[in-house]
Amino acid sequence: MRKVVMPGNETIAHAAIAAGCRFYAGYPITPSSELAAEMSKLLPKVGGKFIQMEDEIASMAAAIGASVAGMKAMTATSGPGFSLKQEHIGLACMMEVPVVIVNVMRGGPSTGLPTHPAQGDVMQARWGTHGDHPIIALAPAFPTEIYMETIRAFNLAERFRNPVILLIDEILAHTYEVVEIPEPGEITLEERKLPPSGLNRLDFYTYNRREGDPPLLPNFFQGYNFHFESLAHDEMGFPTTDPEKVAYLARLREAKIEKHREEIWKNEEYLLEDAELVIFAYGSVARAAKEAVNRLRAEGAKVGLFRPITLWPFPEIPLKKAVGARKVLVAEMNLGQMVYEVERVLRRDVATLFKADGTPISPVEFVEKIRGEL
Partner 1 sequence: MSYMDYVRTFKLPHSWCPGCGIGTIMQAIVRAFDALKWKNEDIAFITGIGCSGRMSTYINTNTMHTTHGRPLAFATGIKLARPEKHVVVVSGDGDALAIGGNHFIHAARRNIDIKLIIINNSVYGMTGGQVSPTTPQRFRTQTTPYGNIEPNFDVVKLAIAAGATFVARESVTRPRNLEKLIEKSFQHKGFSVVEAISNCHINLGRRNKLKDQITMLRWINDRIIPMNVARRKKPEEIKDKIILGIFHEDKERREYTELYDELIQWAGGDK
- Residues at the interface with partner 1 (CB under 8 A): 23, 25, 44-49, 51, 53-55, 57-59, 61-71, 73, 87-88, 91, 95, 220-231, 238-239
Do you find a cis peptide bond into 7, omega within 30 degrees of 0? no
Distance CA 153, CA 133 (A): 18
As measured in angstroms, the least distance from the Cβ of 35 to partner 1 is: 18
Q: Are 234 and 242 in contact (CB under 8 A)?
A: yes
As measured in angstroms, the least distance from the Cβ of 230 to partner 1 is: 6
CA distances for 133 relative to 9, 27, 121, 258, 371, angstroms:
28, 25, 17, 11, 41
As measured in angstroms, the least distance from the Cβ of 42 to partner 1 is: 9
Whichever of 85 and 287 has its CB closer to partner 1, that residue is: 85
As measured in angstroms, the least distance from the Cβ of 216 to partner 1 is: 16
Distance CA 252, CA 147 (A): 31
Whichever of 43 and 303 has its CB closer to partner 1, that residue is: 43
As measured in angstroms, the least distance from the Cβ of 161 to partner 1 is: 15
Distance CA 276, CA 303 (A): 6
Distance CA 343, CA 282 (A): 16
H or E element that contains 5:
strand 2-7
Residues whose CB is less than 8 angstroms from the CB of residue 370 and which lie 6 or more positions away in sequence, other chains included: 277, 279, 292, 296, 301, 303, 329
Whichever of 97 and 322 has its CB closer to partner 1, that residue is: 97
Give the start-end residues of each E strand in 59-188. Answer: 72-77, 99-107, 113-117, 136-138, 163-169, 176-181
H or E element that contains 21:
strand 21-26
As measured in angstroms, the least distance from the Cβ of 39 to partner 1 is: 12
Q: Are 373 and 365 in contact (CB under 8 A)?
A: no
As measured in angstroms, the least distance from the Cβ of 13 to partner 1 is: 15
H or E element that contains 307:
strand 303-308
Burial track 350-364 (b if 16+ CB lie within 10 A, e otherwise): ebbbebbebebbebe
Whichever of 69 and 247 has its CB closer to partner 1, that residue is: 69
Whichever of 240 and 359 has its CB closer to partner 1, that residue is: 240
Distance CA 295, CA 273 (A): 17
Whichever of 231 and 317 has its CB closer to partner 1, that residue is: 231
Whichever of 232 and 271 has its CB closer to partner 1, that residue is: 232
CA distances for 27 relative to 49, 75, 91, 131, 301, angstroms:
14, 9, 19, 26, 47
Whichever of 49 and 266 has its CB closer to partner 1, that residue is: 49
What are residue 274's phi and psi, to 5 degrees? Answer: -105, 10
Whichever of 58 and 167 has its CB closer to partner 1, that residue is: 58
As measured in angstroms, the least distance from the Cβ of 84 to partner 1 is: 11
As measured in angstroms, the least distance from the Cβ of 233 to partner 1 is: 9
Do you find a cis peptide bond into 360, omega within 30 degrees of 0? no
As measured in angstroms, the least distance from the Cβ of 49 to partner 1 is: 5
Whichever of 38 and 145 has its CB closer to partner 1, that residue is: 38
